[in-house]
Chains A and B, each alone.
Chain A
Amino acid sequence: EAGVVQSPRYKIIEKKQPVAFWCNPISGHNTLYWYRQNLGQGPELLIRYENEEAVDDSQLPKDRFSAERLKGVDSTLKIQPAELGDSAVYLCASSLVGLPETQYFGPGTRLLVL
């Protein structure tokens, strides 16, 4: 079974530039999560989707971050414009349904904003 796929794996941009991350969850998984992980810390949830619906986006900085999950499968997370403090690893995870099912994480996108 293929795991969660993310691209790109690495991205270096200058501040104020836009950036987008893509996630393909495990086939059949209805719930998709985007997390941000700062160096030396645990992941922090940005947004949770159940199928196409964003059911928890309370931690998403809506002034510059946006996300979508068209057709309830792939998802894209966008930052526009990026700031220096956005440098982090962005992780996508999926699960068959929500908790208590465990989540399966992708390899992440490592973003560096210069």
Chain B
Amino acid sequence: ELKVEQNPLFLSMQEGKNYTIYCNYSTTSDRLYWYRQDPGKSLESLFVLLSNGAVKQEGRLMASLDTKARLSTLHITAAVHDLSATYFCAVDDGGDMRFGAGTRLTVKP
């Protein structure tokens, strides 16, 4: 069974700082997705990574995928308060997405 692990599960950081969220998965997959969820809201798609070495950037967020290491990273550059949310990675598991537990990010002034 595919297992998806995120770390850290909780992250508190100051505005202006950089940090990386990690997503490890246990079996081979070439497709990985990142979502954002605000409290009480639904999930919003951030990135779709479809091949080894894929890198995508949107604003202060950059996601990458290393399928050989079974690892994806979500890098936050110069964090701002608006980035406070829970971030989920999800891995293609034979046509279905399997989600990690999420990383709850709080950005403090």
Point out residues on A near B: beta carbons under 8 Å.
Answer: 40-45, 48, 55-56, 91, 93, 98-100, 102-108
Picked from B41, B95, B101, the residue with its CB within 8 Å of the CB of A98 is: B95
Point out residues on B near A: beta carbons under 8 Å.
Answer: 4, 31, 33, 35, 41-45, 48, 50, 88, 90, 92, 95-102
Interface of A is mostly: loop
CA A56 to CA B97, docked complex, whole Å: 12
A91-B43, A102-B48 given; A48·B31 CB < 8 A:
no
A102–chain B nearest beta-carbon distance, Å: 5
A99-B31, A99-B92, A100-B50 given; A107·B97 CB < 8 A:
no
The answer on a CB contact under 8 Å between B99 and A102 is no
Q: Which residue of B lies closest to A3 (CB)?
A: B42
The 11 sampled A-B contact pairs (Cβ below 8 Å) are A42-B4, A42-B90, A42-B102, A44-B99, A45-B96, A45-B97, A48-B96, A91-B42, A93-B43, A103-B97, A107-B41
Residues of B within 8 A of A108 (CB): 42
Residues of A within 8 A of B50 (CB): 100
A41-B101, A42-B101 given; name 8 further pairs at CB < 8 Å. Answer: A44-B99, A45-B98, A48-B96, A91-B42, A91-B43, A104-B45, A105-B44, A107-B42
Residues of A within 8 A of B31 (CB): 99-100
B36–chain A nearest beta-carbon distance, Å: 11
CA A45 to CA B92, docked complex, whole Å: 12
Residues of A within 8 A of B33 (CB): 102
The answer on a CB contact under 8 Å between A56 and B90 is no
